Structure 1
Amino acid sequence: MAAKRQASADACPVMRTVDLVGDRWTLLILRDAFDGPARFSQLQRSLGIAKNILSDRLGGLVEAGILRTAPAADTSAYQAYALTDKGRDLFNVIIALRQWGEQYAFDPGEDYRPLIDQTTGEPLPHLTYARPDGSPVRPSETALGEVRPIGA
């Protein structure tokens, strides 16, 4: 079997992101992390994941700076896992996956739990990308640019 390709060897941001968070369990851990800090046992119970896999994925997310450990809210000796700023910046990724799933992964009339905006009480509007003038950006209107340094 070929060795896993290292993200640092590729100029593609999608490849690097998938290397960090593209695993099923990792995405589900992130989904749960957006609900607030959680202890290992809470995540294991919520996800039904094996302890060794959860430990591996949490370690990778902490190492990548996406999650951090913090004292549990109940002041016990346990640690909780919480999103860092870097982790919170994955919000649009999780929302895009959720909204795609709402549209294509359910049969018409099938029940699901929408994500609600606590300010309005309504499900989040569909995520779209727009130009500064507000006009939508469609996939056919994008192209890959030349390789360049980040921030240039």
Structure 2
Amino acid sequence: MAVYTGENCSLARTLEIIGERWTLLIVRDAFYGVQRFADFAAHLRIPRAVLSERLALLVSAGVLAKTPGAGRRELYTLTDKGIGLFPALRALVAWGDQHYAPDGPRRHFRHADDNGEVDLAGVCQLCGKSLAVRDYLVTTGPGASPADASADAVTRALATPRRLLEPITP
């Protein structure tokens, strides 16, 4: 990992970790509960060599942790450092929804306890509670395509409301 060691700009250093193509999509999917290499690859349709490189970078930067799973499979989960990226990711999604989603957002972020809308500051508009990431429910929005039975496991899982960070299992 070649961080801008001579650079005193936090944004430049951050972009060295998460600024590559695919990296934020991997992080987004980790928030959705994706943990297995094969699920990242199938959902993102990313070349396996690129996925392997990006996962290794995120692990070495402390954004993801790699742990043994069933058999020889490894699981990738967000660390506290990675979870700290959620406000930035959420803001980028909202900006994309505003400017590049003519049919409306693909996903809505709601409060899991009362289904209230959650603003960009992470506050439930129904109860006023400031939410932790695990308190978010992701639901389909008007811009989502209907999932079919032949879709990958992640697409099928996201077709129904689910908490962020809840593992997607095959």
What TM-score results when the alignment is normalised by the length of structure 1?
0.72
User: In the alignment, is the contact (CA less than 8 A) between 2:66 and 2:76 conserved in 1?
Assistant: yes
Gaps of 5+ in 1: 129-152
* Pairs aligned (count): 121
Aligned with 1:116: secondary structure?
strand
- Is the counterpart of residue 124 in structure 1 residue 121 in structure 2? no
Hey, which of these two has a bigger chunk of strand by percent? 2
- Is the counterpart of residue 80 in structure 1 residue 60 in structure 2? no
Partner of 1:96: 91
Instruction: Describe how 1:62-81 pairs up with structure 2 within 5 A.
Output: 62-72=59-69, 75-81=70-76
- The alpha carbon displacement at 1:93 in A equals 1.2
Deviations 1:22-71 (A, max 9, x none): 12300000000112251100100010000000000000000101101112
Aligned with 2:67: secondary structure?
strand
What TM-score results when the alignment is normalised by the length of structure 2?
0.65
User: In the alignment, is the contact (CA less than 8 A) between 1:96 and 1:127 conserved in 2?
Assistant: no
Higher relative contact order (CA 8 A, sep 6+): 2
Identity %: 36
Q: Which runs of 4+ in 1 moved over 6 A?
A: none
Deviations 1:116-145 (A, max 9, x none): 3212313421339xxxxxxxxxxxxxxxxx
Gaps of 5+ in 2: 123-170
User: In the alignment, is the contact (CA less than 8 A) between 1:95 and 1:127 conserved in 2?
Assistant: no
User: In the alignment, is the contact (CA less than 8 A) between 2:110 and 2:118 conserved in 1?
Assistant: yes
